[in-house]
């Protein structure tokens, strides 16, 4: 997944801001230490500064408790450490600065050194524990081990390991990298970020980002945007090895009939060419229900408008809920099953590692 500060959640940005603030504060300390400073600091500046420091420390602590959701080790050790210690540290830092300005060098040195030492220790400990939680120190991968554990435990249910991988020309890793390094059974290849003139249009995020990207990257030319999306998808099918084509008309997600309609000839030509290429390369086409149950889209990805074409060309399909939580794994399947049957599609397929034969669909 592409990750940059620009795309980071607000709390992450805040965390980065605090880190920057710490570095700045320490640098400022050195400067003031080396120069002659004013002897007195008024309490109307000192008190608000102390309050601000405490608030900043608490906000950082809150961010880290939010992070704890993703790592139990974080929750046990690091979160209370940060929440408890950081407000004191940041308060201490400002207090030391105040003492320095008030001309009490012994206290300022003690406060500054303690603060700097603890701050470094906190950061180093956080990084070490996070790396340990992720299994990086032992060169392990926790999520993979977790799946393997249940794979061996639940003998009544078969479990396979797969990943949905993004294809961004010149940026994303070759799909073989994931197969080799993660010992996977299958891969879903998808496009979420459409490249044009070295800029990326994120089609899977909030609607405002979709509209902004269309305007700034494609000059509101929806035909060019659609063409770029399908060219990138075809390039992925041609150049990468994977089992399932993910949500192949997601470019329409926030379109909502505003910029293009699904019966637009130009649009349909690209979609159909992509589907035929998937068939030729033995890639199964995913019919994805996520847009419907999340109320982000009024149809499947790809929508019912293309089911007839899928049927006529015997293109193999698989039902997918694109679940991000375990209670979403098969959401919308009953309706999808009925819609596929209505279009004359009577079977679905699974990646070859699971089953080589089609799975017959039954009216729900």
Residue nearer to Zn ion on the CB measure, 87 or 213: 213
Answer yes or no whether residue 233 interacts with Zn ion by CB under 5 A. Answer: no
CA distances from 69 to 4, 62, 66, 147 (A): 21, 12, 6, 19
Rg (CA), the chain: 27
Specify the stretch interacting with Zn ion by CB under 5 A; choose among 11-19, 92-100, 186-194, 226-234.
186-194
Specify the stretch interacting with Zn ion by CB under 5 A; choose among 174-182, 190-198, 219-227, 354-362.
190-198
Specify the stretch interacting with Zn ion by CB under 5 A; choose among 99-107, 113-121, 189-197, 274-282.
189-197
Q: Could you tell me the two tokens for 135?
A: 């299994």
Specify the stretch interacting with Zn ion by CB under 5 A; choose among 19-27, 185-193, 299-307, 337-345.
185-193
The count of other CB atoms within 10 Å of the CB of residue 81 is 18
Residue nearer to Zn ion on the CB measure, 204 or 211: 204
Residue nearer to Zn ion on the CB measure, 71 or 195: 195
Three-state SS at 311: helix
Compose the 57-86 pattern: x for residues touching Zn ion by CB under 5 A, - for all others. Answer: ------------------------------
- Name the residue whose CB lies closest to Zn ion: 190
CB 142 within 8 A of CB 134: yes
Q: What's the closest the beta carbon of residue 22 comes to Zn ion, in angstroms?
A: 37
Q: Could you tell me the two tokens for 301?
A: 């990805």
Of positions 22, 79, 172, 190, contacts Zn ion by CB under 5 A: 190
Q: What's the closest the beta carbon of residue 242 comes to Zn ion, in angstroms?
A: 13
Q: Could you tell me the two tokens for 97?
A: 């600065």
Residue nearer to Zn ion on the CB measure, 111 or 245: 245
Residue nearer to Zn ion on the CB measure, 93 or 190: 190
Residues binding Zn ion: what is the number (CB under 5 A)?
Answer: 1
Answer yes or no whether residue 22 interacts with Zn ion by CB under 5 A. Answer: no
Q: What's the closest the beta carbon of residue 291 comes to Zn ion, in angstroms?
A: 11
Q: What's the closest the beta carbon of residue 246 comes to Zn ion, in angstroms?
A: 5
Residue nearer to Zn ion on the CB measure, 56 or 245: 245
Instruction: Sheet with 244-245: list strands edge to edge.
Output: 162-166, 186-190, 244-245, 284-288, 317-320
Burial class (CB in 10 A: 0-12, 13-18, 19+), 58: middle
CB 192 within 8 A of CB 250: yes
* HEC letters along 242-261: CCEECCCCHHHCCCCCCCCC
Q: Could you tell me the two tokens for 215?
A: 């305007």
Q: What is the rounded CA–CA span in Å between residue 58 and residue 358?
A: 56
The footprint of Zn ion on residues 85-144 (CB under 5 A) is none
Residue nearer to Zn ion on the CB measure, 190 or 228: 190
Answer yes or no whether residue 255 interacts with Zn ion by CB under 5 A. Answer: no
Residue nearer to Zn ion on the CB measure, 190 or 231: 190
Q: What's the closest the beta carbon of residue 204 comes to Zn ion, in angstroms?
A: 6
Specify the stretch interacting with Zn ion by CB under 5 A; choose among 32-40, 125-133, 183-191, 273-281.
183-191
Three-state SS at 80: helix
Residue nearer to Zn ion on the CB measure, 67 or 247: 247
Compose the 39-58 pattern: x for residues touching Zn ion by CB under 5 A, - for all others. Answer: --------------------
CB 105 within 8 A of CB 121: no
DSSP string, 214-228: HHHHHTT-HHHHHHH
Alpha helices in 35-139 (DSSP H): 43-67, 72-73, 79-102, 105-133
DSSP string, 153-182: H-SSS----EEEEE--TTTSPPHHHHHHHH
Using CB under 5 A as the criterion, which residues of the chain lie in contact with Zn ion when the complex forms? 190
């Amino acid at each position: 997944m592409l990750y940059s500060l620009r795309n980071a959640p607000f709390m992450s940005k805040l965390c980065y801001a605090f880190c920057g603030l710490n570095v700045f504060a320490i640098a400022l300390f050195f400067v003031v230490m080396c120069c002659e400073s004013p002897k007195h600091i008024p309490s109307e500046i000192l008190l608000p500064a102390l309050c601000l420091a405490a608030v900043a420390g608490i906000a950082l602590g809150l961010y880290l408790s939010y992070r704890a959701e993703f790592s139990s080790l974080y929750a046990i050790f690091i979160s209370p450490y940060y929440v408890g210690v950081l407000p004191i540290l940041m308060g201490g830092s400002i207090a030391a600065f105040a003492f320095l300005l008030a001309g009490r060098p012994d206290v300022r040195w003690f406060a500054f050194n303690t603060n700097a030492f603890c701050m470094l220790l906190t950061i180093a400990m956080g990084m070490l524990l996070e790396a340990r939680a992720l299994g990086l120190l032992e060169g392990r991968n926790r999520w993979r081990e977790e799946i393997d554990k249940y794979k061996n435990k639940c003998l009544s249910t078969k479990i396979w390991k797969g990943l949905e991988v993004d294809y961004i020309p010149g940026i994303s890793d070759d799909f073989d990298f994931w197969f080799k390094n993660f010992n996977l059974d299958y891969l879903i290849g998808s496009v979420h970020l459409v490249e044009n003139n070295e800029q990326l249009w994120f089609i899977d995020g909030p609607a405002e980002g979709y509209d902004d990207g269309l305007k700034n990257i494609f000059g509101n030319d929806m035909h060019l945007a659609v063409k770029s999306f399908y060219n990138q998808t075809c390039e992925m099918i041609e150049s990468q090895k994977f089992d399932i084509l993910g949500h192949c008309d997601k470019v329409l997600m926030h379109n909502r009939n505003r910029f293009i309609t699904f019966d637009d000839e130009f649009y349909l030509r690209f979609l159909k060419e992509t589907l035929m290429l998937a068939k030729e390369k033995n890639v199964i086409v995913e019919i994805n229900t996520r847009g419907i149950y999340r109320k982000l889209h009024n149809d499947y990805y790809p929508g019912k408008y293309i089911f007839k074409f899928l049927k006529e060309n015997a293109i193999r399909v698989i039902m997918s809920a694109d679940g991000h939580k375990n209670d979403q794994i098969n959401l919308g399947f009953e309706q999808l099953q009925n819609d596929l049957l209505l279009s004359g599609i009577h079977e679905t397929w699974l990646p070859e590692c699971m089953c080589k034969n089609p799975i017959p669909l039954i009216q729900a």
